[in-house]
Structure 1
């Protein structure tokens, strides 16, 4: 039974990133739609550290301001689920989490297989020098994506290039310039979000590196920004809006029943546009599409073996 008529969401990250990154806007919109059906809303707060985030939870619990909370961007040895359990706040973890405590549910993402798919798409086009601009290294999903790329490269007998970013345009531009300054430089770069990818495309243009003639680029979390660049950015696409709705559904089940059905975030799939092509002098592997737009594969409605909804 809802008491406060709100579900809390705290983001520990620089507020300036929220104005340019579409992911959380879509995620929150999905949450709001599902919660509104029950007369609830999202209580949203931005802080800079996890300590401030935990202090927010303590304040919310003390004042009974929320009926449940959603935790995002888990890190290794994350304290937040345990603190929320002590506070007695029903909690939905959005992302990979192995815990199994009463009053806590997870809507995990598959961060491994989509990286393998992204790699296989680029490898099939003929790329052998593949780089990735990652999100913050302490995040669990960053580590999972990194492992997926390392495993793929090891199996293919090639060496990956990794540069850490922080999801900002500045870090995407900086990492791209660093990678393009290497000898040999990569022929393909995968970015952990759309903002860094758009910035990377701008940097490549400034350095007069032709995309996709000399360099292929692939963004994570497709967005309108990716579709409006010139050329339009190829991306790994998932249904972020549905993800938010699924998380909200789990929160409602926790509020009502104390437990939630197991569900996954929607799967990601490759969407080829104008920034992926064979590298210079390397025709695509037989059987791989010459035109990456012809390789379009929409994200499926479910994760590995688990339904969404």
Structure 2
């Protein structure tokens, strides 16, 4: 990963008119990158495939989407990248019209049928951009089925930021699935940090009707939630079942090991790189879907200890 955008073994000779870089901006707290393995595995998959063609990843970490847009403008003005990879798509995402305005080629990552992208069927600036889509709803239904089979009826979810499209898709899938089962879940919004995972777990467990199962939107929040439950004397899985989204060493080494929604993140990155290469080559970009997340039961889920009500 070439974080500076210059030099390195993948660089192309100066004056060639080819930057040799693909841009990726992460609008998230930089401290999370050191403890959350998802993006490091994702970037490794991208770079592995790009390196075969002499391309590298220009990574930039910023505080918010406004700073991300500013980075795209700088990159376009200085011709620093051949294309960009756009992650963490949001409702009313202002990045897409800016990228079109700049003429900066982009591959969108995540979300399925949404906002006319890709497909150009609606929304502002609906001309299609190539995308590697993700099924966020199906894995949630699988995780919910696992909990329902274990007898859980009081189910909570600690989500990521609510304006992210994948957060919205996961929440809608959980609410719809619970409605079909005749129950109503509790959904609270986190930010992927350990602090959010621990604090929100405490709030849920101290409530008048604490959940018997909690689903988390990432591994860091889930591991922190496990610690918070232990501090409150709530045994996992005897009294509380936990499921994390994203498998990782953190989940496997926890005590008990966490049940997870596991996906091949490295392969996900490779698929994104394939789309990027087609884009920069001027070829039609094939429609791709990320590897599907699957429920991997471990020691953090068990039968509901008591007959719970919604």
> Quick one: distance in 1 between partners of 2:51 and 2:279?
16
Residue 187 in structure 1 maps to residue 212 in structure 2 = yes
In the other structure, the counterpart of 2:277 is 252
Q: Tell me, what secondary structure is at the counterpart of 1:131?
A: strand
CA distance 1:103–1:40, shift in 2 (3 Å): farther
In the other structure, the counterpart of 2:45 is 30
Residues 76-95 of structure 1 correspond to what in structure 2 (within 5 A)?
Answer: 76-95=91-110
Q: 1:117 aligns with which of 134, 139, 142?
A: 142
In the other structure, the counterpart of 2:200 is 175
In the other structure, the counterpart of 1:4 is 19
In the other structure, the counterpart of 1:299 is none
> Quick one: distance in 2 between partners of 1:236 and 1:264?
17
CA contact (8 A) 1:238 1:269 kept: yes
In the other structure, the counterpart of 1:274 is 299
Write out per-residue CA displacement over residues 188-245 of structure 1, whole angstroms, 9 at most, x where no aligned residue: 0000000000000000111110000000000001111100001100000011100011
Deviation at 1:246, TM superposition (A): 0.5
Q: Tell me, what secondary structure is at the counterpart of 1:173?
A: helix
Residues 52-131 of structure 1 correspond to what in structure 2 (within 5 A)?
Answer: 52-96=67-111, 97=114, 98-100=117-119, 104-131=129-156
Q: 1:138 aligns with which of 160, 163, 171?
A: 163
In the other structure, the counterpart of 2:36 is 21
CA contact (8 A) 1:135 1:192 kept: yes
Q: Which runs of 5+ in 2 are unaligned?
A: 1-15, 121-126
Deviation at 1:280, TM superposition (A): 0.8
Deviates more, 1:47-56 or 1:91-100: 91-100
Deviation at 1:81, TM superposition (A): 1.4
> Quick one: distance in 2 between partners of 1:234 and 1:100?
35
In the other structure, the counterpart of 1:40 is 55
CA contact (8 A) 1:2 1:255 kept: no
> Quick one: distance in 2 between partners of 1:204 and 1:123?
21
> Quick one: distance in 2 between partners of 1:258 and 1:100?
18
Query: For the aligned residues, what is the CA RMSD?
Result: 1.6
User: How many pairs align?
Assistant: 283
CA contact (8 A) 2:118 2:128 kept: no
Deviation at 1:103, TM superposition (A): 8.0
In the other structure, the counterpart of 1:288 is none
Residues 216-295 of structure 1 correspond to what in structure 2 (within 5 A)?
Answer: 216-281=241-306
Write out per-residue CA displacement over residues 234-292 of structure 1, whole angstroms, 9 at most, x where no aligned residue: 00001110001110110010000253110000001010110000011459xxxxxxxxx
In the other structure, the counterpart of 2:231 is 206
> Quick one: distance in 1 between partners of 2:76 and 2:280?
14
> Quick one: distance in 2 between partners of 1:71 and 1:167?
19
CA contact (8 A) 1:85 1:103 kept: no
Q: Which runs of 5+ in 1 are unaligned?
A: 284-309
Deviation at 1:104, TM superposition (A): 2.7
> Quick one: distance in 2 between partners of 1:282 and 1:242?
41
